[in-house]
Amino acid sequence: MLRIKRVPTVVSNYQKDEAGEAARQTGGCGRNCLKECCMQEARLPLYAFKRLPNFSGKDLSEHECREPPVAFLDSLLLGEWEDRSQRGLFRYDVTACETKVIPGEHGFIAQLNEGRHLKKRPTEFRVDKVLQPFDGNKFNFTKVGQEEILFQFEASDDGEVQFFPNAPIDVENSPSLVAINVSPIEYGHVLLIPRIFECLPQRIDRESFLLALHMAVEAGNPYFRVGYNSLGAFATINHLHFQAYYFTMPFPIEKAPTKKIATSNGGVKISGLLDYPVRGLVFEGGDTLEDLSNAVSDACICLQDNNIPYNVLISDCGRLIFLIPQCYAEKQALGEVSTELLDTQVNPAVWEISGHMVLKRKTDYDEASEVKAWKLLAEVSLSEDRFQEVTALIFEAIDASVEPAANPQSTEEKVKVRDSSHYPCLADGSQECLVLQ
């Protein structure tokens, strides 16, 4: 298990007077932000990844995750994240949060994170519209300090991985940036912000999703996951971004059995989750990485256009992608969620749906159980009938061929149980608690 250093908890990114004074000396607005006023002569590290046009889903499944030549995850992302921890840029010390595996068959994970509840930025937009225009007057990532940015993340021009420790920021071409999440859930919690200066609203497109998938592939570690929350599915900022963090054990959703139900034109296999409280689709394979990316992004675009909130988890070094349409915020608005669940103040976004339950009250953490976790996530799920309707919309949008119905006389079940052997930290069924310190 990776050992994590503790850092002092701070209330604000600008709490330290010396940091504020250093920013003022650079001119601009005094906050060393990413707007034009502070961008003169700004430079940041640049990681240029290798495009993989012929890197197929089969290649992904046949090769073990391995460290990239420049140690993208360990040396760059986590190293830079640790540096920002030492500088006191986070709103609280996430490494002090208690974490445990909840006893039970599925191994849900509970974390007590009171700081995120008290100090996280509130949502500033409607939750009943998946697509909303970008509003520059509200918080967006061009307003963050440059010290929160870890590096630029772009495709390489010459087809090879490159790293430049001090590269200029090409504002005209709107680079994609990786930044810390100042209200982290876990170690190494970062944000991927595609084409930041285009000020895109929180909506997936083909180009941005492929970028996120490349990030998972570059990390080359099954413990590093990339997630996405749409508006209406507990995204809190309407500026296009993905989240990612490092957590050293499998998520329950990753271990859930699945059943193949369709294949896309690009050879992407699409399965349905089984024995899991939230109904969802699992995408894997494909003739190329781009085929896999396009199938998922087109499915997301279909959901967006039909005003259906959803969450996405990119897992297993980019091999598996989970797409979960959800309706919890809608049920909240209609008064259909019990007081017991509302009192927990848990907003089930991608991490909670994946089985990493971020709890805000000590009593909920102490009394956490598999039954309670299942009950909360079951409220997130679409009904069976509604899920089938949404699935049909998706398959039409991505031109997927539905598998023929199984022969009822057949004793062979087309069910796949995930192999967790490449998650060596804890074996399935272990009730051991994690202590991150």
Residue 187's closest CA among 249, 240, 102? Answer: 249
Q: Are 99 and 110 in contact (CB under 8 A)?
A: yes
Q: Which amino acid is at 100?
A: K
DSSP code of residue 337? S
> Cα–Cα distance between 126 and 292 in angstroms, integer?
31
Instruction: Give the burial class of 40: count Cβ atoms within 10 A of its Cβ; 0-12 exposed, 13-18 middle, 19 or more buried.
Output: exposed
Bridge partners of 326? Answer: 381
Instruction: Give the burial class of 210: count Cβ atoms within 10 A of its Cβ; 0-12 exposed, 13-18 middle, 19 or more buried.
Output: buried
Instruction: Give the burial class of 180: count Cβ atoms within 10 A of its Cβ; 0-12 exposed, 13-18 middle, 19 or more buried.
Output: buried
Q: Are 265 and 399 in contact (CB under 8 A)?
A: yes
Q: What is the DSSP string of 37-58?
A: GG-TT-EEEEEEEPP-TT--HH
Residue 243's closest CA among 327, 314, 143, 148? Answer: 314
- Is 241 labeled as catalytic in the residue annotation? yes
DSSP code of residue 168? E
Give the active site residue among 106, 214, 241, 356.
Answer: 241
Q: What is the DSSP string of 248-310?
A: SS--HHHHS-EEEEEEETT-EEEEEE-SSSS--EEEEE-SSHHHHHHHHHHHHHHHHHTT--E
> Cα–Cα distance between 135 and 144 in angstroms, integer?
16
Q: Active-site residue numbers?
A: 241
